[in-house]
Amino acid sequence: MGSSLRKRVSSDRLFYKIGEISNIAKIEPHVLRYWESEFPFLKPRKNKTGQRVYTRKDLELVLQIKNLLYKEKYTIAGVRKKFGDNTIRKNSVSLQTIQEIRKKLKDILNTLNKNIVSQNSQVSTETKKKSQLHL
């Protein structure tokens, strides 16, 4: 980001309205709304009143889209394909992966439970020995 852009983008801000994104990216709000309809990965949240609320990630996407369309001369379909390939890989997790993680977590839980039982039996044995000594 350029220094003038950094001045307009406050680092402590979590959310931006469409007008703010429009000013920062120097793109008309209707263009942003059009891009939302064309690019499934650009989906800002909406607040209680229905206004679009963009995150910093959304802002970065808007700036990347702008760069690809206006500077690198990509088509809408080209941008969609470029981001579509990356988005699918980043956001999708297979059922098999989830099942493998679940199995590993169960194994860890079983190991922890065995350790707890083992420690409890050691404490119980030591307590019995101590009580027998006091008798």
Instruction: Say if CB 56 and CB 15 are below 8 A apart.
Output: no
Instruction: Say if CB 68 and CB 79 are below 8 A apart.
Output: yes
For 82-131, write each residue's pLDDT tens digit. 887 554 444 456 677 778 888 888 999 899 888 887 877 776 666 666 66
pLDDT band at 65 (very low <50, low <70, confident <90, very high): very high
Is the pTM for the entire model greater than 0.75? no
Query: Could you tell me the two tokens for 37?
Result: 């309809």
pLDDT at residue 44, as a whole number: 92
pLDDT at residue 18, as a whole number: 93
CATH architecture of 3-91: Orthogonal Bundle (1.10)
Q: Where are the domains of the chain?
A: 3-91, 93-135
Alpha-helical segments (H) within the chain:
3-8, 18-25, 29-38, 56-66, 76-91, 95-134
